[in-house]
Every structure is written in C-alpha cells, then in structure tokens.
Amino acid sequence: MNKKIFIVTLLCAALMTSCYKEPAKPALPKIALSSTENVLFDAKAGEGAVLTADVTLTVNRDWSIECGADWLAFGKYADNQIYKVEAGVDTDIPIRIVAQTNRVGNTRRAVVRFKTSTDYVDLTVEQKMNTDEAPTQIYYNSFGPDSSNNPEIQTTNVWRCEEGVPGDVRYYMGTGAISVRTTTDSEDCYVGASGGNNLFFGKEAPSFAIAEIDVHPKLSSLTVGFGAIYSDGSLNISDLPVYISSDGQAWIRLEYKKVSEYEEPKWCWCEGEFYFTPGSFEHLYLMLTPASGLASKFRLDDVTISSDHAAEQGTLINWSAGSQMSLPATEVVKK
C-alpha cells in the first residue's frame, strides 16, 4: 500500500473514532417515598383527629398502588393536578391517604405498596383502636392458597395469611416440625373452609402457639374455632388439647366440641368459647398440643378467634387457676 494512502487512512479512522459518541443510557427505574415511617391515623373524626396523610412519591415509570385494606382510600394527586410520568424522568407526585372511621374496634394495620413493573416501595399504615367499637373478629388465618414442596413453617411466610388481626402476633413451635401442606385440603368440608394450605404437625408432638393477640377492652366473650382432621377421620378432641392464656404463663384448657363433621375427607369444625370481665386482660395466647405419638396424624386450618358467636352470659374464666406452662421453645420469626 502507498505510504501516503496508509497515513490518510489512519487519520480518517482516528477522526471517525473521535467523533463517535456512546448513546445515552436510559435512566434506571426509580420509585421512592418522601418518608417510609409508619403513618398513624386516629380511630374516628373529632377535634384534632388525623384521618388523612400526604406523602410524596418520586417515580420515573408507570406506577400503581396495591393495598388490600378496604378502610383506606387514595387520592393519587393531593393537589388535584394531573401528573404525567415520562419514562426516565423523575416526577414528584403528592398522594393523599384517607382512612375511614375504625368500626372494627381493634387497632388495625395495612401495608400499602407503590410499585412499577420492576420495583416497589412499601408504607405501613396503622389506625388506633376505637374504644367505643368492639370487633367481631380478632384473629383469622387461612394459612394461604396452595403452596408447594411442603415447606416447614420456619422457612417461609406463605402460611402467614392473617385477617382481622389488630396488631403483630407471634408464633411459637415445639420440638419437631410443622409444615405447610396442600394435600387433603379442607375445601367445602365446613362452612367457611378455605381449602388451599393447612398445617401438618410433625412426628415429635410439636405444640403450636399463637401469642400476643390484642383483645379489645369492650369484649366480654370470645369463641375459638378451627378446622381439624385426623388421618383416619376419627378425630378425638381429647387427643388435641387447646389451651388459652392471658400472659403466656398460666394456661387454662379450653373446652371445645366438634360443631360439624364432613363425610370425606373427615375435616371437623371445632369451637369453644369463654367469658371474662371486659378490659381484664390485653392479650390472648392460644396453644394446641397434640398428644405424644399422634401429632403427625393431625392437620389444622382456618384458626379463628371471634366474638360474634359467643354468648353474652357464661362463667367467667379464672386466669389465676391456670397451670404454669411455658410457650413452646422456638419462635417462628417472620422471613
């Protein structure tokens, strides 16, 4: 090649390289809140009461709100302006959260999720107890829809499907294993049966406890209900003792009965009720302790604690007469 031509070629290549610019990279997806501190609402309207809260969402993609609480409403644009989000351009959007009057009585809580197609940010919203309104339900757990692989409860949150629960509850289990199963589900086996997941007790007779369930000060009676099945269909309630406590230390055995029994599979709906002086205790503890050697034959579903079935009259429970027992050794920590 001619030396001059070669030099010119190199110069042109260098010139072209120096003029080339990398295309601008698109902005990374962004979604953020001005504050992620818990929002706390008052129970009802009144002088100085707070039932609305404003937060600012910063986002650069299409977004939406996800929340299962029917007592919350959202005004997407607190100042009534229309905000159009352009992809890649950070946009601040003021959002108003509005709470309805708390007519369920107990403190209640919800998680509001602001999300794009790729990311999300959560905000916890709480509302104070309404001391004038006693709730009809203080705990319910369906243990969730179908799961797979029979996970043990300490390895997953799939079974934590509480509804109507006023605050945080805690779970404990004894020696052995309790797993989430979908086989032999309870669907259509009793009124309100959720089907899907149920809890299967392991071979080493592990007890299972639900702790620190808030009790409204106006309540005077509660009904504990649950679905249960024994492997051969012959559920003997004496083999599945249920205990209640006001402090997690002194326990009283709850007398309960089979309210309904299904043909096949033989799930039973069980209920027991008790009575107390309103405001005499703040928290309820519930513990199921399958008989030794029989634990792996029991399944549990739809644990419910409510006041709508309990009678107004009855013998008051004497917590001081309870037997001293400890909560099961292992707390099942939320993942």
Task: Give the Cα-Cα-Cα angle 76, 80, 82 (nearest 5 degrees).
Answer: 75
Range of the domain at 75: 31-127
Cβ-proximal residues to 261 (8 Å cutoff; 6+ apart), any chain: 235, 267, 268, 269
| Higher-confidence position of 176 and 219 | 219
Of 227, 321, 242, 256, nearest in space to 286 by CA:
242
Return mean pLDDT, the chain: 85
Q: Residue 3's pLDDT is what?
A: 54
Q: Residue 265's pLDDT is what?
A: 65
Q: Residue 9's pLDDT is what?
A: 52
pLDDT per position as a tens digit, 166-198: 667 999 998 888 999 988 888 888 888 998 899
Q: Residue 162's pLDDT is what?
A: 87
- Rounded to whole angstroms, how far apart are CA atoms 174 and 22? 61
Same domain, 107 and 143: no
| Higher-confidence position of 12 and 334 | 334
Same domain, 120 and 154: no
For residue 25, being part of any structural domain is answered with no
For residue 8, being part of any structural domain is answered with no
- Rounded to whole angstroms, how far apart are CA atoms 134 and 166? 12
**What DSSP line would sit under 262-301, residue for residue?**
-SSS--EEEEEEEE--TTS-SEEEEEE-PPTTTGGGEEEE
- Rounded to whole angstroms, how far apart are CA atoms 236 and 255? 13
Q: Which CATH number goes with the domain that contains 320?
A: 2.60.120.260
For residue 228, being part of any structural domain is answered with yes
Same domain, 160 and 308: yes
For residue 238, being part of any structural domain is answered with yes
**How far apart, in Å, are the Cα atoms of 54 and each of 31, 41, 98, 118, 278?**
17, 12, 9, 24, 37
Token pair of 90 as six digits: 């950070």
Whether the Cβ atoms of residue 212 and residue 281 lie closer than 8 Å to each other: no
For residue 295, being part of any structural domain is answered with yes
Of 182, 259, 186, 189, nearest in space to 224 by CA:
259
Q: Residue 69's pLDDT is what?
A: 86
Same domain, 122 and 142: no
- Please determine, for residue 10, whether its predicted confidence score (pLDDT) is greater than 60: no
Domain boundary among 81, 105, 127: 127
Same domain, 213 and 302: yes
Same domain, 146 and 86: no
For residue 21, being part of any structural domain is answered with no
Whether the Cβ atoms of residue 190 and residue 258 lie closer than 8 Å to each other: no
Same domain, 98 and 159: no
Q: Which CATH number goes with the domain that contains 94?
A: 2.60.40.10
Model confidence at 124, in pLDDT bands (50, 70, 90)? very high
Q: Residue 255's pLDDT is what?
A: 93
Same domain, 171 and 276: yes
- Rounded to whole angstroms, how far apart are CA atoms 90 and 31? 9
Same domain, 160 and 210: yes
- Please determine, for residue 8, whether its predicted confidence score (pLDDT) is greater than 50: no
For residue 16, being part of any structural domain is answered with no
Domain boundary among 73, 100, 127: 127
Same domain, 146 and 113: no
Give phi and psi for 5, each to the nearest 5: -65, -40
Count of the separate structural domains present in the chain: 2
For residue 151, being part of any structural domain is answered with yes
**Burial letters for 47-75: b for 16+ Cβ neighbours within 10 Å, e otherwise?**
eeeebebebebebbbebeeebeeebbeee
Token pair of 250 as six digits: 């002194």
Task: Give the Cα-Cα-Cα angle 62, 64, 69 (nearest 5 degrees).
Answer: 175
Token pair of 32 as six digits: 């953020």
Same domain, 177 and 302: yes
Q: Find which of 66-75, 126-135, 196-205 is predicted with most confidence, using mean pLDDT.
A: 66-75
Same domain, 212 and 295: yes
